[in-house]
Amino acid sequence: MSFTAVKLKIAAIFAGIAIALLAALIILGVSYYFFGVLPTSGFFFLIIVMVLVMDIIQYAISPYIISRIYHLKPVSRDDMSMAWLYVSLEKVCNLNNQKVPMLFIADTDMPNAFAFGSIISGRRMAITKGLLKILNKDEIEAVMGHEIGHLKHHDVALLLAIGLIPTILFYFGYTMLFGSGRRNGGSIILVAIGLVAVSFIFNIMILGVNRMRESYADLNSALTIPGATDSLQTALAKIVAYSGGNPRNRGFRRKSTTSSISSMLMFSGDNDVKAYDHIALLESWKRKKVRVKDSIFSDHPHPAKRIQNLEKIKQENQSKGIL
């Protein structure tokens, strides 16, 4: 694995640990200072259990809800019309030393792909009809390499776990505000409001972790699929050019029943896309200076940033004599 891959992996792991540690310190400090108890007693414990149970239930059943919402149809090697797609997935999985997940076609013309699943449903990957219409075989395999990267690195479970932190903080603040505010005076109300505010800050931090995981998934494709540094770039440009930057044309959006999936999408929208020529769009991204505000509230890196990262990987591979 390249040095870039190691840096991305370390950054993602430490970001997750830092978020969890900071949240734990806040919860312990507030509860001990104002209540003299640890979060394992009273309503603190009930809130943690409630949020945990809700997330586990959502994690377990969401693949089945998603399958119904997006009218997913399974694909197998025996399906003559789609056998080539299944063979491509087998190839990508072999290159990644991964078991082949269940493959589905989503009945929508919007070009996208996503990985999902749970312990109950097993690992799954969905590709839309729209993606099959605009990408060639090499580009589809590069996209598959990206999605397999999510499954390989357990991104769904990781994001679910760290996503519990702002939810717990929010409910702590909410319960303290409406359940204990009158009894404990104005100071506890300020603390409760502070916890709610901190929960939103954590959500922004988690978006940053998700962007790192997306970059890591891009990297996985680039390092495991031959020619993917170029194929993934053209695939992303075609997806965005076809979508046209219209918020109504961005494929799947974040919903309460599919929030864990929106973060696994190949593409999650770009509100400054003007070009429809994917070649011109790709070239403009290579020169674009990406500012922090361009993606700070997004669960995906700005497409230009993804292209520039892939270009760096391509240059590293060329310097090592890797085609």
Query: What's the pLDDT score for residue 258?
Result: 45
Residue of higher predicted confidence among 207 and 294: 207
Query: What's the pLDDT score for residue 46?
Result: 78
Residue 92 has pLDDT above 70, yes or no: yes
Rounded to an integer, the average pLDDT of 51-57 is 83
Confidence of residue 40 (pLDDT cuts 50, 70, 90): low
Whole-angstrom distance, CA of residue 163 vs CA of residue 174: 17
Residue of higher predicted confidence among 245 and 304: 304
Residue 123 has pLDDT above 90, yes or no: yes
Q: 98: left (phi > 0), else alpha (psi -120 to 50), else beta? A: beta
Whole-angstrom distance, CA of residue 140 vs CA of residue 31: 51
CB-count exposure of residue 120 (10 Å: 0-12, 13-18, 19+): exposed
Q: Range with the lowest mean pLDDT among 113-117, 249-253, 259-263?
A: 249-253
CB neighbours of 218 closer than 8 A, spacing ≥ 6? Answer: 146, 149, 232, 306, 309, 310
Query: What's the pLDDT score for residue 250?
Result: 38
Query: What's the pLDDT score for residue 168?
Result: 82
Q: How many CB atoms lie within 10 A of CB 273?
A: 19
Q: How many CB atoms lie within 10 A of CB 66?
A: 24
Residues in the chain: 323
Mean pLDDT, the chain, rounded, equals 80
Q: What is the pTM of this model?
A: 0.82
Counting residues of the chain whose pLDDT is more than 70, the rounded percentage is 77
Domain ranges within the chain, ordered by starting residue: 3-319
Query: What's the pLDDT score for residue 219?
Result: 92
Residue 106's SS3 state is strand
Rounded to an integer, the average pLDDT of 97-118 is 93
Catalytic residues: 147
Residue 267 has pLDDT above 80, yes or no: no
Buried/exposed 44-57: b ≥16 CB within 10 Å, e otherwise: beebbeebeeebee
Residue 30 has pLDDT above 80, yes or no: no
Instruction: Give the chain's count of helices (H) and strands (E).
Output: 12, 4
Beta strands in 182-235 (DSSP E): none
Q: What is the dihedral of CA 168, 57, 220, 284, to 10 degrees?
A: -70
Whole-angstrom distance, CA of residue 200 vs CA of residue 134: 38
Q: Range with the lowest mean pLDDT among 79-93, 189-203, 258-272?
A: 258-272
Question: C-alpha distances in angstroms, 225 versus 142, 174, 240, 249?
Answer: 6, 47, 22, 29
Query: What's the pLDDT score for residue 266?
Result: 63
Residue 37 has pLDDT above 70, yes or no: no
Whole-angstrom distance, CA of residue 47 vs CA of residue 143: 39
Residue 69's SS3 state is helix
Residue of higher predicted confidence among 86 and 59: 86
Chain centroid to Cα 67, Å, comes to 18
Rounded to an integer, the average pLDDT of 298-320 is 87
